[in-house]
Amino acid sequence: MNPAFTPSPQRYLTGITTTGAPHLGNFVGSIRPSVVASRLPGVQSFYFLADYHALIKCDEPARIQRSTLEIAASWLAAGLDPERVAFYRQSDIPEIAELTWLLTCVTGKGMLNRAHAYKASVDKNAAAGNDPDADVSAGLFMYPVLMGADILMFKSHKVPVGRDQIQHIEMARDMAQRFNHLYGEHLVMPEAVVEESVALLPGLDGRKMSKSYNNTIPLFAPRDQLSRLIAGIVTDSRTPREPKEVEGSALFQIYQAFASEPETTALRKAYADGIGWGDAKQLLFERIDREVAPMRQRYHELIGKPGSIETLLRAGAEKARAVATPFMNELRQAVGLRNLASQTSAPAKGKSLKSDVPAFKQYREKDGQYYFKLIDTDARPLLQSSGFDSPREAALVISTLQKDGLTALADQNGKVKIFEGVSTEALDAALKAFRVN
Ligand code: TRP
């Protein structure tokens, strides 16, 4: 293998809807794995608070505001480093709403009819003898398209989610495919990453831990509440000294999600040796509390400083928009929302429409640096950048070139070179195509 080979970075993206306080299931299934992924070398992460999605399910403004703060603080308390990732609030990125519309126009209504969440509402209405769409908002129907925009905006490769979200990722792939077929290869096909333990983390009653079953243990419950909730986990009626089975034991499964291999083995043996349920619950409480206590303290410190979380999220939005703004410009060009002064002649019938606009192509070289090229409609290169340390820096330069055209080129101090033989007029015309106003 070529030692100089650097794999291109994998982009991870995930969001949490801001309608409540996070519980242990969210922690094990989403927060903890996404923090781990954000530390892997070669991974670029986008993590966000899905507050537009929250409006679909919740019409209590104060609750949405509070939940946004709590979920942001939870992610940070769990060790997310906002310097390493783009950590932002969905509603701070207006391009998401804009892309939602472009995707709406390439999404089949029939596909949305088949979305599990929408279908469940319709089935419920049918069973009750109501109009099929009674109390179903267009927002619920459009949920998968908004989610598609979240994912496709940042060219995400991997999307860590719970099992129930897999269908949404498949729909995002479908939208990307349809868009690319119509307008050229702009969108990247995402893939769901499902943490097996997510689907499995049981709640107090043994069913999957979920807000809708009202069987959750809040991640940052105070110690005494945590202890009380754990005492309420369902067990069978076996008495102390009777051997117990780990299969189907909610208590054991929750323990396993927090403990190391040897700890889990020890509890398995204790079950066989007939540990009493009270002692097993005490062990579980201590194990969770050991893991959660330092985070709980950081969480409360963070919650006490909402202003600094606000500042941090705004900085995150700036990072995310450095990518979203130029990409949205590219997509506007692609679909024909263009500057009229750069009119392209009407294509002959049957001619492919795919490359009738210039494009910025971003890539990574073996040296690990990020580069871009500007190519014209005949795929002829017009501009070549030198290397940037991060894709974000490259995107920022693209963004200024799109906004200010030739004048911005002069400010780049030679970091962006004009290809030999390219006239200023050709370059000016190509850059003008991106200008929105
Ligand atoms: N629908 C997700 C949930 O309820 C939250 C979400 C919104 C999301 N947009 C996303 C998750 C994009 C992953 C990627 O859990």
Distance 87 CA to ligand 1 centre (A): 14
Q: Which residues contact 345 (CB under 8 A, 6 or more apart)?
A: none
Closest CA to 217 of 30, 74, 28, 24: 24
Indicate whether 230 and 193 sit together in one domain: no
- Please tell me the distance between residue 105's alpha carbon and the centre of ligand 1 in angstroms: 21
270 CA to centre of ligand 1 in angstroms: 39
Regarding whether 253 and 165 lie in a shared domain, the answer is: no
Angle (nearest 5°) at CA 338 between 334 and 339: 150
Q: Which atom of ligand 1 is nearest to the CA of 146?
A: 9
17 shares a domain with 136: yes
Measured CA to CA, the distance from residue 370 to residue 31 in angstroms comes to: 29
Distance, in Å, from the CA atom of 224 to the CA atom of 221, rounded to the nearest integer, reads 8
Same domain, 275 and 326: no
225 CA to middle of ligand 1, Å? 29
* 160 in any annotated domain: yes
Q: How far is the CA of 49 from the centre of ligand 1 (A)?
A: 9
Q: What is the CATH number of the domain that holds 233?
A: 1.10.240.10
Query: Does residue 87 share a domain with residue 27?
Result: yes
Distances (CA, A) of 278 to 207, 209, 236, 242, 262: 21, 21, 12, 13, 21
Same domain, yes or no: 54 and 154: yes
User: How confident is the model at residue 351, as a pLDDT?
Assistant: 47
Contact 300, 63 (CB under 8 A): no
Give the burial string for 78-98 (b: 16+ CB within 10 Å, else e): bebebeebbbbbbbbbebbeb
At 427, list the tokens: 């370059």
Residues 377 and 405 grouped into a single domain = yes
Residues 264 and 313 in one domain: no
The model's pLDDT over 206-239, given as tens digits with 9 standing for 90+, comes to 998 888 789 999 999 999 999 999 999 999 999 9
* Residue 435: predicted pLDDT: 74
Instruction: Name which residue sits closest to atom 8 of ligand 1, judged by CA.
Output: 15
CB 223 within 8 A of CB 270: no
Other Cβ atoms less than 10 A from the Cβ of 22: the count is 24
**Sites in the chain below the pLDDT cut of 50:** 1-4, 350-351, 353
Is 24 in the same domain as 124?
Answer: yes
Q: pLDDT tens across 251-289, in order?
A: 999 999 999 999 999 999 999 999 999 999 999 999 999
* Pairing of the two strands 359-364 and 191-194: unpaired
Q: Indicate which CATH number applies to the domain containing 383.
A: 2.30.29.80
The reply to whether 118 falls in a domain is yes
Q: How many domains does the chain have?
A: 3
- Among protein residues, the one with the nearest Cα to ligand 1's atom 9 is 147
Which ranges of 1-137 does DSSP label H, i.e. alpha helix?
A: 24-26, 32-38, 51-57, 61-77, 94-104, 109-113, 116-127
* Ligand 1 probe mutation, 71, 156, 168, most atoms within 8 A of CB: 168
Distance CA 390, CA 96 (A): 22
Note whether residue 209 is domain-resident: no
What pLDDT shows up at residue 413?
Answer: 84
Please, how many CA atoms are within 13 Å of residue 104, restricted to the half-sphere of its CB?
Answer: 12
Taking the CA of residue 168 as reference, the ligand 1 atom at the shortest distance is 1
**Which of 11, 100, 159, 161 is the pocket-test mutation for ligand 1 (most atoms within 8 Å of CB)?**
161
Determine the pLDDT at residue 358.
85
212 domain residue, yes or no: no
Same domain, 40 and 91: yes
Taking alpha carbons only, the member of 241, 280, 238 closest to residue 259 is: 280
- If you take atom 10 of ligand 1, which residue's CA is the nearest one? 15
pTM: 0.80
Is residue 2, in this structure, part of any structural domain at all?
no
Ligand 1 binding site (Cβ under 6 Å of any ligand atom): 13-15, 17, 50, 53, 147, 150-151, 159, 161, 165
Which of 11, 12, 16, 154 to mutate for ligand 1's pocket (most ligand atoms within 8 Å of CB)? 16
Q: What is the pLDDT of residue 224?
A: 96
Is residue 347 included in any domain, yes or no? Answer: no
Q: What is the CATH number of the domain that holds 35?
A: 3.40.50.620
For the CA of 90, the nearest atom of ligand 1: 9
Q: Residues 161, 104: one domain?
A: yes
Q: How far is the CA of 13 from the centre of ligand 1 (A)?
A: 9
Residue 4: inside a domain: no
- Calculate how far, in angstroms, residue 148's C-alpha sits from the geometric centre of ligand 1: 9
Look up the domain containing 274 and give its range.
220-301
Shared domain for 127 and 24, answered yes or no, is yes
- Structural domain contains residue 353: no
